[in-house]
Chain A
Amino acid sequence: MESYLLKNINLPDLKLLKTALDFGAYNGFLKCLDSYSPKDVVEEIEASGLRGRGGGWYSTGQKWNSLKRVKNKPAYFCCNCSEGEPGSFKDRLIIEKNPHLLLEGVAIASYALGVNTAYICVRGEFTEATEILKKSLTDAKAKKLLGKNIHNTGYDLKIIIFRTGGNYICGEETALLNSLEGWPATPREKPPYPAEAGLYGCPTIINNVETVSNIPYIINNGVDWFSAIGCRECPGNMLFSISGHVKKPGVYEIPIGSFTLREIIDQFAGGPNNGHSIKAVIPGGGSSGFLSQKELDITMNPDSLKKIGSSFGTGSIIVMGDQADIVKMTRKLAKFFRDESCKNECEICKKGSIELTYHLLQIEKGEGKSENLSKIHKTIESMKDGGICAMPQTASSVIKSALQRFPHEFNNKIANKVS
């Protein structure tokens, strides 16, 4: 098992341009400039089978191919570093430890898409990451690896590092575009998709940090190398963020589809804390919902999780030991969806998440009645169809996953109510 994304991640100086260059940074980009047409690069990425790591698992090549160029309008590229999915911390790691990998990926994507202005949108909280990235950009520009007339090829790329306002919804791609334009970060109705009309109404491609970080390796090592890693439907390695009740929480680089959830927890994260067994696992970040310990033998790839009504999401595994209060964790997520929904007026999103949080809190406090539970079920149903964005659907399926798998946890609290 070969790691590439995290290969040299622990070198303290990897963020310095000199060290990064010693380890081959920007070679992929220069190779593109020297011997690939933009079209070649798009074809290469499409052939590699790379799928986006931002949670949607959309084919990167297909997304790039869907860019609708419009005469006299520029196209934009935007790297999404808003990382706010509960349980995910891999994007921040890449930005802080290997900023030149990210910058090179952005440069290759921009070249492939005929983009001369790219944005890197970093979550507002990540001040250290932002400073590191800014310095790296300045250094790379000084060496003519980015900026004007890169390596005397005539290709210009201006990269703007943009600090987002920190809200979770800033990570939704159209909300991100609105915030780049100086509006509150509210999602836009789709269609049109950003690839047709995105930033300032111009065609725009948005990709996640980890997606972008795969690109230099695909260019350097070739499509055959990449497609041999992971599984056929979803090649490559994935950065799994593992947290909660495990011995060794952290980010692990693992080929997609090669291990079960249980193997990942045991072999990489050291298994559950001493003296505890696993009660529940969130397999792909807060938006993916709960799995029970009976389901841990599922192979970790996007399609297998989808089949059981869960999702691979951002590969963020949160492990809950037998000591965990499932009702509380469910309420925490309901509250998260309530507080992080945007200011658009999708009734069902606002009202639904408020109701879910309220009734779950009643149950958690031991003051719940069976009516609270039936209200929750009704609200879940009503949120299924969603609003302008996927938030209500996600909230609905997350809460449902807990009720389905752990009905006794909820019923017990109701039965035990003090009254």
Chain B
Amino acid sequence: MSKINTVQKEKIHKILKYYPDNQSALLPILFYLQDENRYLDDMVLWELCEILDMNFQFIKDVAEYYVMLRTQPVGEKLIRVCTNVACTLCGSEELVEYMEEKLRIKVGETSKDGKYSLFTAHCLACCNNGPAIQVNDKYYKHISRKDIDRLLETTDAK
């Protein structure tokens, strides 16, 4: 079965129209495909290199280079905790430890049920609201242990 369906192909061609060459459209296309699939697996990238007429390893290198792109499976909820200076001053390190305990995983790992992945992030440009975290696309501010309890529950229920 094709990993990139007809609708997605159409969208890719639409994105291509915005840019002067295929390589310039690569990042926007990778973001699009990631939104569709949660991560960029090799099969998707293989098909993409056919569409774009580009080298597989090159595409993979680009995808692996950027923090916002993922070439490995991640949980339904990808949690990124800022541990830069301002958030550390507000206690973000303890928060990371708390989440590690609660999810029984280490930073960089995904919980066994596949629901959560935990990462740290460099400054998220939300330093006045530390500790700041991002869950998928959404920012959460002034996070406490209680918020984490609630967050993991509500996202659980989904």
Contacts and interface: CB of A to CB of B under 8 A. Distances in A.
Contacts, number: 132
Interface of B: 18-28, 31, 61-62, 65-69, 83-86, 88-90, 121-130, 134, 137, 139
Interface in A76-101: 83-89, 91-92
Interface in A318-370: 318, 320, 324, 328-329, 332-333, 336, 339-340, 343
B65 A243 contact: no
A318 B67 CA distance: 25
Contact of B20 (A166, A200, A250, A282): A200
A202 B102 CA distance: 52
A182 B18 CA distance: 13
A86 B67 contact: no
A343 B65 contact: yes
A125 B127 contact: no
Given A200-B20, A329-B88, 8 more contacts: A85-B123, A86-B123, A92-B125, A126-B125, A160-B18, A181-B23, A182-B62, A332-B84
A55 B128 CA distance: 20
B128 A124 contact: no
A162 interface: yes
Given A86-B84, A182-B25, A328-B88, A125 B65 contact: no
B66 A182 contact: no
A183 B89 contact: no
A128 to B, nearest CB: 7
Nearest to A330: B85
Contacts of B123: 84-88, 168, 286, 336
B127 A166 contact: no
A289 to B, nearest CB: 12
22 contacts: A86-B85, A86-B123, A89-B125, A125-B124, A127-B137, A162-B28, A163-B28, A163-B68, A165-B69, A166-B68, A168-B123, A179-B27, A182-B23, A184-B61, A200-B20, A282-B85, A286-B123, A318-B86, A318-B89, A332-B84, A332-B88, A333-B85
Contacts of A185: 65-66
Nearest to B52: A182
B66 A124 contact: yes
B17 to A, nearest CB: 11
